[in-house]
Amino acid sequence: MSGTRPPQVPGNGGELSAADMLAQMRALRRQASSISRAYWLPLLLFGMLICGSMPFYVEPRIVRGVAVYTSAGWQSPYFGGGGFTGSAWLSVYWFIALQAGIAASALWYRWRGYRVGLRTPARGLVVAGVVLIELALLASIIGGRAGYALPGDLTIRGTVPLVLIAVPLWVLAWAERSTALAVIVACYTGLALLASLYDVENIFFRLGWNPSSFGWRLAGLPNVALPALLLLLAGAGAWLAPRLRWRSRRPASA
The residue (of 107 and 141) whose beta carbon lies closer to another protein is 107
How many Å apart are CA 153 and CA 184, to the nearest integer? Answer: 25
Longest Cα–Cα distance of the chain, Å, equals 97
The residue (of 18 and 149) whose beta carbon lies closer to another protein is 18
φ, ψ of residue 215 to 5 degrees: the values are 65, 25
Helix (H, G, I), strand (E, B) or coil at 55: helix
Smallest distance, another protein to C-beta of residue 40, A: 18
The residue (of 37 and 157) whose beta carbon lies closer to another protein is 37
φ, ψ of residue 229 to 5 degrees: the values are -60, -40
φ, ψ of residue 66 to 5 degrees: the values are -120, 125
Smallest distance, another protein to C-beta of residue 114, A: 5
The residue (of 116 and 203) whose beta carbon lies closer to another protein is 116
φ, ψ of residue 62 to 5 degrees: the values are -95, 115
Cβ atoms 160, 77 nearer than 8 A: yes
The residue (of 70 and 178) whose beta carbon lies closer to another protein is 178
The residue (of 123 and 245) whose beta carbon lies closer to another protein is 123
Cβ atoms 169, 129 nearer than 8 A: no
**Which parts of this chain interact with another protein (CB under 8 A)?**
1, 7, 9-14, 16-19, 21-22, 24-25, 28-29, 31-33, 36, 113-114, 116-123, 177
The residue (of 162 and 175) whose beta carbon lies closer to another protein is 175
Smallest distance, another protein to C-beta of residue 144, A: 39
Smallest distance, another protein to C-beta of residue 72, A: 45
Smallest distance, another protein to C-beta of residue 30, A: 9
How many CB atoms neighbour CB 61 within 10 A?
A: 11
How many CB atoms neighbour CB 168 within 10 A?
A: 29
Smallest distance, another protein to C-beta of residue 235, A: 22
How many Å apart are CA 19 and CA 23, to the nearest integer? Answer: 6
Residues 6+ apart with CB under 8 A from 168: 102, 105, 125, 128, 129, 132
How many Å apart are CA 89 and CA 63, to the nearest integer? Answer: 21
Smallest distance, another protein to C-beta of residue 134, A: 24
